[in-house]
Amino acid sequence: MTLSTKIAFLGIGLMGEPMARRLLQAGYSVTVWNRTQSKAESLLSCDALLANTLIDAVCGADIVISMLAAGPIVEQAITTALPALAPDTLWVDMSSTKQVEAQQFHALLLAHGGGFIDAPVSGGVAGAQAGTLAIMAGGSTAHFARVEAILAVMGRPTLVGPAGSGQVAKLCNQLIVGATLNIVAEALLLAQAAGADPAAVRTAIRGGFAESRILEVHGQRMLERNFVPGGQVKTQLKDMHNILDAAAAAQLSLPVTQLVTQRYETLAASHALADHSAALLALEALNPGQRLGSGPDKLS
């Protein structure tokens, strides 16, 4: 694909806005659409074309990229757009959906003469802004070759298998993220409750076997009590439920994942829109009188 490739980008939210912005800054022609149009207007300064309707956005597009809230919304978008798609249009869904939904989208678009790749991402808003997202793609090698350069503008794309495999990889990622966030919260709160300096403990264990991106980024967030959303609690909870659905379909029991899901269900009741590092808040609620640090909570 060249810079003359026409891209339709559907979903200009926390993640979609910086992702679309990177494509525009790279010189691609991008038509943007969002249900709340005002959220897409910030991209006009980057020469984005603003579509009034989803149909207007996809007409004439070579590539359609969707970054939407959930599988049912992606399905609605594909169903609406299908009659207006040009032959051989390739739809790249970068949302987080269920594996079975991605496989259904693939079959639907294939029957229409087009193509489909599921390419969910990890790295949060910061990764989207920096163009360093981990992009997990499921689809054919031919379809992946068509969009690899486009995806590379937004991060590091890897083809992990046929359609639906990208969502499996994302679920594996979110399983590790969700569990590790809770463990980091427990470790830092334990350090403080036992009389150590939690910030110094975090520094001391970094570089050892406990090192992780979660400890680096979200451990610092917890120390600062900065729960301004990057990856939201409600999104993490949706992913946890999708993980358990995938495990059930594969006839697997994942007991730790079940516990982590319960923690996020509790947290979502009061802090659904906070960053998923707010796992710390659910832990503190279990331990009255224990609170990491002394600063105020930053939630928005």
Q: What is the pLDDT of residue 11?
A: 97
Convert the pLDDT of each residue in 111-167 to its tens digit: 999 999 999 999 889 999 999 999 999 999 999 999 999 999 999 999 999 999 999
Q: What is the pLDDT of residue 13?
A: 93
Residue indicated by tokens 């996020």: 264
Q: Is the pLDDT of residue 2 over 70?
A: no
Share of the chain above pLDDT 90, in %: 91
Position 244 confidence tier, pLDDT thresholds 50, 70, 90: very high
* 170 classed as catalytic: yes
Q: Is the pLDDT of residue 87 over 90?
A: no
Convert the pLDDT of each residue in 41-78 to its tens digit: 999 999 999 999 999 999 999 999 999 999 999 999 99
Give the span between the Cα atoms of 128 and 230, in whole angstroms.
Answer: 10
**Cβ contacts of residue 237 below 8 Å, gap of 6+?**
261, 264, 265, 267, 268, 272
| Domains of the chain, first to last | 6-161 (3.40.50.720), 168-286 (1.10.1040.10)
Q: Is the pLDDT of residue 8 over 60?
A: yes
Helix (H, G, I), strand (E, B) or coil at 133: strand
Mean of per-residue pLDDT scores for the chain: 95
Residue 234 phi, psi (nearest 5):
-60, -35
Sign of CA dihedral 57, 62, 66, 71: positive
Region 270-286: mean pLDDT is 96
- Cβ neighbours of 111 (radius 10 Å): 9
Q: And the tokens for 6?
A: 């026409």
| Nearest Cα to Cα of residue 175 among 269, 276, 286 | 276
Convert the pLDDT of each residue in 175-187 to its tens digit: 999 999 999 999 9
Region 16-20: mean pLDDT is 97
Q: Which of 6, 98, 170, 238 is catalytic?
A: 170
Q: And the tokens for 209?
A: 């076997």
Q: What is the pLDDT of residue 210?
A: 97
Region 102-113: mean pLDDT is 96
Convert the pLDDT of each residue in 196-214 to its tens digit: 999 999 999 999 999 999 9
Helix (H, G, I), strand (E, B) or coil at 151: helix
Extended strands (E) in the chain: 6-10, 29-33, 49-50, 63-66, 90-93, 115-118, 121-122, 133-138, 155-161
